[in-house]
Chains A and B, each alone.
Chain A
Amino acid sequence: MREQVIVRVGAKVLVPFIILFGLYVHFHGDYSPGGGFQAGVILAAAFVLYGLVYGLDAVQRVLPPAFVQACAALGVMVFAGVGVLTMFLGGNFLGYGVLAHDPEHGQHYGIIGVEAGVVITVFGVMVSIFYLFAGRGRRSG
């Protein structure tokens, strides 16, 4: 049981850092390797770790399954929503240039928007899938 304690404490310390790293990967994706997808995976990993250590119920109290499923769906809508927005602003679908006066800035906004969509979906999907597999195991075991 003593190893358990180490793991629990270790997890508690690690989780915030992992989340922080995920956010870094996300927002620094323009300058260095990484981006929405990797960030989503890393953020999900933080909660997967938390779930593995503290149990499914604990993590589901923090992040209810319905919430992560909604995230999975929401991200797609955010991504496509950016595209629809550009259409309303007179561009083509995903033509970010129209999002600001300066097309280059527009591109920046657009990329931030869609990357946000990616991170939300990937995070939601990864945690959902973890929940589903883990939930299955708990009942059959």
Chain B
Amino acid sequence: MTLLSHYNYWVVILLMMVGFYTMISRGNLIKKMVGLNVFQTSVFMLYISMGKIRGGTAPILMDAHGESSETAHVLYSNPLPHVLILTAIVVGIATTAVGLALIVRIKETYGSIEEDEINQIEAEGAA
């Protein structure tokens, strides 16, 4: 039953591609960054979907020094994808911050944040 068991991946992929498309097709630099954000967030969902266990629960143990007998019957979701994605989210925001700082500087020096206008200005400068 590929269709049913994978539909959520496909939704995620669709969202991912919306972000990716925005990123590479739009000339507006802000839109590119938004696209990057959407793209990355969707990748996070892909990871988290992988970690999900049906009927599982958040990987926070019921008892601090939980006995194994107690943890055995509770089904926890896989914590590793969560950890990876926490890192990835932070990396994502870091990239966004740098990208936006660049956009601000580009606006200040070129007076535009449209890629084709910038290209035109650069071509004139080179000529």
* A residues apposed to B, CB below 8 Å: 31-33, 37, 129, 132-133, 136, 140
* B residues apposed to A, CB below 8 Å: 58, 60, 64, 86, 90, 97, 100-101, 104, 108
Q: Is the interface of B mostly helix, strand, loop or mixed?
A: helix
| Contact present for B60 and A133 (CB under 8 Å) | no
Chain A positions within 8 Å of B100 at CB level: 133
Residue of A with least CB distance to B98: A129
Shortest distance from the beta carbon of A53 to any chain B beta carbon, whole Å: 22
Q: Which 8 A-B pairs have the closest CB atoms?
A: A129-B97, A136-B104, A37-B90, A32-B60, A37-B86, A140-B108, A132-B101, A133-B104
Chain A positions within 8 Å of B108 at CB level: 140
| Contact present for B104 and A31 (CB under 8 Å) | no
Assuming the contacts A37-B86, A140-B108, asked whether A31 and B101 have C-beta atoms less than 8 A apart, the reply is no
Chain A positions within 8 Å of B97 at CB level: 129
Chain B positions within 8 Å of A37 at CB level: 86, 90
